[in-house]
Amino acid sequence: MLKETFKKIECYLFTIGFMVCLVSLMACKTDVAIKETPQAISGTGKILVLPFTNMSKVYGENVNVRCFVCGKVIMIGKIEDGVEHDLTERLFNGLTEKKGFQFIPPSQAEGVISELMLNNTFSWSEKDLILTAGRRLDADAVIYGYIYRYTERVGTEYSVQSPASVAFDIHLIHVNDGRLLWNGHFDETQQSLSENLLKLGSFIKRKGRWISAREMAIAGIEDVLKTFPEP
């Protein structure tokens, strides 16, 4: 009799604990991407989209870098070759779905930046180069991103030695004064449900699979762009 009573109490406590986790899941904000209500911005109808920068090509791996706009310090990890082109395309396609803006494609920016660097003997700062490219193309604002980590999973959809891991930032700055208008941050290394019960929503959405880095990055861009400002 006493043993059955303890079992009932144990079952009751487990149920309460599980419900608390579910409530926490629904109530908390994810730490993967910035979750804010999109704010309206005026005077930025024409926006230049720059290609993503592969930070490992600039600084190498396992190095802490500070963003010159938002001041965030992030450790650079392994980044697969060529992923910046795929992410740039995904970003541009996602942005063109936003109404009320005119987006200048990255292909136009590449030629302008190359010309600026070739025709000037002094060293450009990154910020000056970005803002000058925006002015040359008569843009009101410039959007650009940094890839800090893009590591492919090792294993299959249902069994991995190491999971996919992706981190990137996207910034929107005003051309006239370099002011930060908006930024989005994504940083995730996939975890199993047993490692983090609060990831139950992602676990269900991904059908219990270990996803690829590309799937994670695409979902990250879609998630971040939900917070993009309104015109």
Report pLDDT digits (tens) over 55-114: 999 999 999 988 877 778 888 999 988 899 999 999 999 999 998 999 999 999 888 888
The CATH class that applies to domain 31-225 reads alpha beta
Q: Report residues of the chain scoring pLDDT below 70.
A: 1-40, 42-43, 120-122, 159-160, 191-208
pLDDT of residue 202: 59
pLDDT of residue 148: 95
What type of residue is 205? K
pLDDT of residue 127: 87
164: exposed, middle or buried (Cβ count in 10 Å: 0-12, 13-18, 19+): buried
pLDDT of residue 225: 95
CA 191/CA 211 separation, integer angstroms: 10
pLDDT of residue 7: 42
Provide the b/e sequence for 175-202 (b: ≥16 CB within 10 Å): beeeeebbbbbbbbebeeeeeeebbeeb
The domains of the chain are located at 1-29, 31-225
Paired tokens of 92: 């541009």
pLDDT of residue 35: 44
pLDDT of residue 73: 86
pLDDT of residue 116: 81
Q: 């930025």: which residue's tokens?
A: 44
